[in-house]
Chain A
């Protein structure tokens, strides 16, 4: 990447394999602190695997990952996951109300979430306070994603991992979520790593981009690299997506 920055997460020759199949191959690179980095690449490139390694849901088969310059294995897994929040692609909800879902990160620590705080988190993601006592099963796809993002904010994580959170949304909801991510990044100075298939979105929202293909990082840099990729594979991928 072009500028000097402080890394929030650093990968050092990281491999991940299941049986004989290598999902991630010798990945080295950093995600800058306080910035939005998008992960793009074709399906099956290993993007979600890379993301899950960042909050310890899975561990590398080889290599090292550093979070804020500390080896990931030196963190207690629970502390790590509270510090590196993740919004999953399917935005799963536990049975109950939106409030119960928002309170979940604290309930897991036997703590309560004050209702006013819950309303404030809803406000952050652009949802009215009326949603608080709605059944989570009654939410639309966009609303679920918003609640899912709000829920990850409750832990006040310094790093937020977003796994294709806009893939199933209509145009209006997509725009809202994009604005929301920029707002959260600005307001809380949260480092964000966002998997997206939408290259326009990566260009518009992301400060930096990693292009992954078949488990390898092919190109990294400021997001504008997507306008003029140096690597032929990336060129081919970008042209294919834009077509």
Chain B
């Protein structure tokens, strides 16, 4: 795409700006900031990726993944402030999902062990895991507050903290996984996934683009399941003390 053509795509920014101004939505400033940030961030990452792909050195791949995990952790942790140690719990969850997925992909030679494959796939894994973590924490916190009396009931009858929080934990895990599963049911029928569309526009064979998209779709299922379950089981023990009492400030 030429720079002139790229400049013309700003028309798609002008349309919402004009609509916002006309209808007094008050979104002009946010739209403007979002546009500038996306230009700067994407161009910067484009140059960084070019450098990393050209060098194809392990340390740069590692640094890129560490940066992704760090940024995703900082973003997701805001939703789980009531859970002690939520920062490291999210970081460990993202790292586990990344290591597990890449071990399968690289171990079975499903994709080549090059920066060109590892980094974009890692971005999708970590990004999806971050969204899942946020969904899970949102739901889990809401469930805990809404069903405090049930947790107390089970403890009062001699249940363990795990038994007491089981229902809330399972509800939150299911609720966070449902969007991933549901969106995959209509994939290709309602929406063409971004990665596949990008490959086709760039001139790739549609069948090959579909194959890669299937790979990502399946990875995202694992990501969804492992992220919410792992984070859930790391999180719930911090809501109780060693005498199996609910920590008042957490509920």
Q: Which residues of A contact B (CB under 8 A)?
A: 18, 55-59, 73, 77-79, 81-82, 85-86, 88, 90, 92, 94, 104-105, 108-109, 151-152, 155
Contact = CB atoms under 8 A, between A and B. Distances in A.
B158 A78 contact: yes
Given A105-B157, A108-B163, 13 more contacts: A18-B248, A56-B243, A59-B245, A77-B244, A78-B159, A85-B157, A86-B156, A94-B153, A105-B158, A108-B157, A108-B158, A108-B160, A155-B157
Interface string B145-165: 000011011111111100100
Contacts of B152: 57, 88, 92
Interface residues of B, number: 18
B245 A108 contact: no
B127 to A, nearest CB: 35
Contact of A57 (B150, B155, B160, B163): B155
B183 to A, nearest CB: 28
A57 B158 contact: no
Contacts of A57: 152, 155-156, 245-246
A92 B164 CA distance: 13
A73 B153 CA distance: 21
B229 to A, nearest CB: 22
Q: Is the interface of B mostly helix, strand, loop or mixed?
A: helix
20 contacts: A55-B156, A56-B244, A59-B245, A73-B243, A77-B243, A77-B244, A77-B245, A78-B159, A78-B244, A85-B156, A85-B157, A86-B156, A88-B149, A88-B156, A92-B150, A105-B157, A108-B154, A108-B160, A151-B157, A155-B158
Nearest to B151: A92
Nearest to A77: B244
Contacts of A82: 157-158
Contacts of B246: 57
B158 A94 contact: no
Contacts of B160: 78, 108
Interface in B232-251: 243-246, 248
A82 B160 CA distance: 12
A151 B246 CA distance: 21
A82 B158 CA distance: 5
Contact of B245 (A58, A86, A94): A58
A108 B153 contact: no
B101 to A, nearest CB: 35
A138 to B, nearest CB: 18
B188 to A, nearest CB: 37
A68 to B, nearest CB: 17
Nearest to B248: A18
A105 B156 CA distance: 9
The 9 closest A-B pairs by CB, nearest first: A82-B158, A92-B149, A81-B158, A77-B244, A108-B159, A86-B156, A92-B153, A105-B157, A78-B158
Nearest to A148: B153
A133 B149 CA distance: 23
A3 B245 CA distance: 35
A120 B156 CA distance: 22
A77 to B, nearest CB: 4
Nearest to B163: A108
Given A92-B150, A92-B153, A56 B245 contact: yes
Nearest to A73: B243
Contacts of B163: 108
B212 to A, nearest CB: 43
